[in-house]
Amino acid sequence: MAFDWDAVPANMVGVLTGLTQAIGPGVCVPWPQKRAELPARLEGEDLLRDIWAKVDALGNTFIWRCLVWF
């Protein structure tokens, strides 16, 4: 099922397409945004990034499942 862009108000189309391009599919909160919330000096930042990607994917999966189930 394709998204109906005709149902979106004209002033929101740019916002929605901009968000999709900036964040990317399957991501709720991108790593650079989350990284800005953390202390400047971190040990094992690569490990944290990988864990964050997995946690964020769970959030995306939960939202998707809610949309599909209801």
Number of structural domains in the chain: 1
Q: Determine the pLDDT at residue 64.
A: 85
Measured CA distances, 4 to 11, 13, 14, 54, 56 (Å): 15, 11, 14, 30, 27
Residue 12 belongs to a domain: no
Residues 53, 24: contact at Cβ < 8 Å?
no
At 67, the pLDDT band (50, 70, 90 cuts) reads confident
Residue 58 belongs to a domain: yes
Query: Is residue 12 scored above 70 in pLDDT?
Result: no
Q: Determine the pLDDT at residue 28.
A: 81
Residue 42 belongs to a domain: yes
pTM for this prediction: 0.58
Could you tell me how many residues make up the chain? 70
- Name the residue range of residue 42's domain: 28-70
Query: Is residue 70 scored above 90 in pLDDT?
Result: no
| pLDDT, tens only, 15-65 | 555 555 566 777 888 888 888 998 988 888 999 999 998 988 888 888 888
Residue 18 belongs to a domain: no
